[in-house]
A and B are shown apart, each in its own frame.
Chain A
Amino acid sequence: MTETPDIYIRLESVSKAYRIAGQAIPIFSGLDLAIPRGDFVAVMGPSGSGKSTLLNMLAGIDRPDAGRVRIGTHQLDQMGEAARGAWRAHHMGIVFQFYNLLPMLNAAENVELPLLLKPLSARERRLRVERVLDLVGLSGRERQYPGMMSGGQQQRVGIARAIVADPGLLLCDEPTGDLDRTSADDILEMLQTLNQVLGKTILMVTHDPQAARLAKRTLHLDKGVFVEEARAPR
């Protein structure tokens, strides 16, 4: 599989339907999407429009019924579950709306989780964890547990966990959905830095128009179709 130079994420004729009480409810019918490497895309849309399904397919957690999902050189729809898990561990970070930190592990241990899937020594892992915690402004809080942190701080830990393995792609699911405005702005600024300085490709699902404005472009998804594309002002 060869990689198209400027397109990092490509969805081609993707169809997906869920079966509820024996009835097929279509989510996507022939959805296409192309996102270049280093882009920062916000996906907006009403509930039930298919944002989560899109995110799940891009994360390799869900598979399309038909069509192709390709990220970099990897065609996810052709890969088995174990291979998709391994791919996630090496190429993608996920930022969750509710942080999804493990409450009985401290910040450093939470951030270290993706590194346990890589052949790194304990010292290498510790150095990387310290570096990313410093990057998200949590230096000195390595031993703090999620329960001792504010929502904004927990989301920073979540971002640190998402980038610690140095993935090319960040998938963010409503990363500011559970935060107050100030904390949300901090997190958005951080994502912007990760995109602009570190060159991470970011796809962010959000309901927040202010968050979407910070992305390079915004895709509106409605009833499984991208109905509008807006370029963020530079």
Chain B
Amino acid sequence: MSMLLRQTGILIRVNLLSLPRRLAISLSMALSIALVVCVLAGFLALAKGFERALAGAGSPRVAVVLGGGTQQESGSDIPAEAVRTLQATTGDIGVVRDAAGQLVASREIVVAVDVETAGDEAARTIAVRGMDRAGAAMRDQVALSAGRLFVPGAREIVVGDQLAATLGMTVGRSVRLGAVDWTVVGQFSAHGSAFESEIWADLDAVRAAFDRENAVQSLRLRLMDPSGLGRLQARLATVGTVPLSALSEADLYAAQSGRTARLIRLFAWPLALLMALGATAGALNTMMSSVSDRTVEIATVRALGFRRSAAFVGTWVEALCLAAVGVVLGLVVSWLAFNGWQASTIGANNARLAFQLSVTPDVAVVAGLLGLAIGALGGLVPAFAATRLPLTAALRARG
């Protein structure tokens, strides 16, 4: 075994040291693999960034009650009577109560509003969320980064950092949303999650400004613990005449992110695999050329008594090394080009949702493994060919 390792080791060394003789074609193989890795990593980073933005927004300790049989806030409607009935409920329904015995809850509506921005030719559709004052406190990962929260009843807004940065909605500025002017009184950070793409304001102020009197799309409730959701769902079954459903905030956003991320991956994989097919053919061509270039060397060592398996592994490792160079190059380029890159899409509330592309370790591993697989597959046939070289060539060829 150690002799086989020594034979393999020396052949790997010989193959790698002879790479400069085949520099151009070897580089082309590495570059084509780098391109595949880059494309796949880019798409996966897009999906990952989107998932992160929404996953970061959801908490398992917050329940979102929706009405009308929908699983999205945009199509939901909860009658005011149902809200009052629920708030009047006594006993343990899995929801935290405040010092006065009231449920810790926030009635909310989301309105998609077009915002004209200076220097930007197209208006952007932004989600304006009206909420009770408890709503902001219910979002654990959100913190004010500038200014203060809105005052109930006032036409004041707090803006997510993502929006503030892209639309210049800094504290003190006046912004026209719909037919009404609003004053930016605060900015909040939500660690890049979907909330940062929203504008928050008082529920009654939003209802009045956008003619949504008495509307409630969702009711957020602070759960005692994640298991409290079951007790809340049981209670909801007995409330009102319209069907009400409750799910954790984490599940609500996971479902939203899952659909879009699946769609992105659905595009990513066929494209990457198609490119990988081409890169594999390129790798095969490169490695066949490598074997051809080393015919005399391979045949010579085999004539000396080296085993076929050493010739096979030596060639295969060369292919894997070139693939590894391509993988590293592809990952470095994709990290530099994509990681942290700002992107946006239309979110579940038909409003702009900003997020950052994330080249995470798992993205790198998946894209890297595809790159290595190209090298492994592309090197397999040439490695086999290396073991089948006619040794008689070694005795006559000019080395």
Contacts and interface: CB of A to CB of B under 8 A. Distances in A.
Interface of A: 52, 55-56, 59, 61-62, 82, 85-90, 94, 96-105, 109, 113-114, 116-119, 161, 173
For the residues of B in contact with A, the DSSP-based class is helix
Contacts, number: 84
A105 B14 contact: yes
A64 to B, nearest CB: 14
B301 interface: yes
Given A85-B306, A104-B18, A94 B7 contact: no
Contacts of B306: 85, 113, 116-117
Contacts of B391: 56, 61
A9 B337 CA distance: 68
B224 interface: no
B305 A100 contact: no
A61 B304 contact: no
B151 interface: no
Contacts of B117: none
B398 to A, nearest CB: 4
Interface string B260-297: 00000000000000000000000000000000000011
Interface in B346-399: 391-392, 394-399
B303 A104 contact: no
Contacts of A173: 395-396
A42 to B, nearest CB: 17
Contacts of A119: 2-3
B305 A102 contact: no
B235 interface: no
B6 interface: yes
A113 B396 contact: no
A135 B354 CA distance: 76
A55 B17 CA distance: 31
B114 to A, nearest CB: 67
Contact of B10 (A97, A98, A116): A116
A109 B315 CA distance: 20
Contacts of A98: 397-399
Nearest to B3: A117
A82 B301 CA distance: 14
B7 A52 contact: no
A59 B6 CA distance: 23
B302 interface: yes
Contacts of B233: none
Interface of B: 2-3, 6-7, 10, 13-14, 17-18, 296-297, 300-308, 391-392, 394-399
13 contacts: A56-B395, A82-B307, A94-B303, A96-B395, A97-B395, A98-B399, A100-B300, A102-B14, A114-B304, A116-B3, A116-B306, A119-B3, A173-B396
A119 B4 CA distance: 11
A100 B17 contact: no
A17 B329 CA distance: 52
The 3 A-B pairs with the shortest beta carbon distances in the complex, nearest first, are A89-B305, A104-B17, A100-B399
Given A100-B296, A104-B18, A116-B7, A85 B399 contact: no
Contacts of B296: 100
Nearest to A113: B304
B301 to A, nearest CB: 6
B396 to A, nearest CB: 7
B3 A61 contact: no
A113 B10 contact: yes
A119 B303 CA distance: 19
Contact of B399 (A55, A88, A90, A96): A96
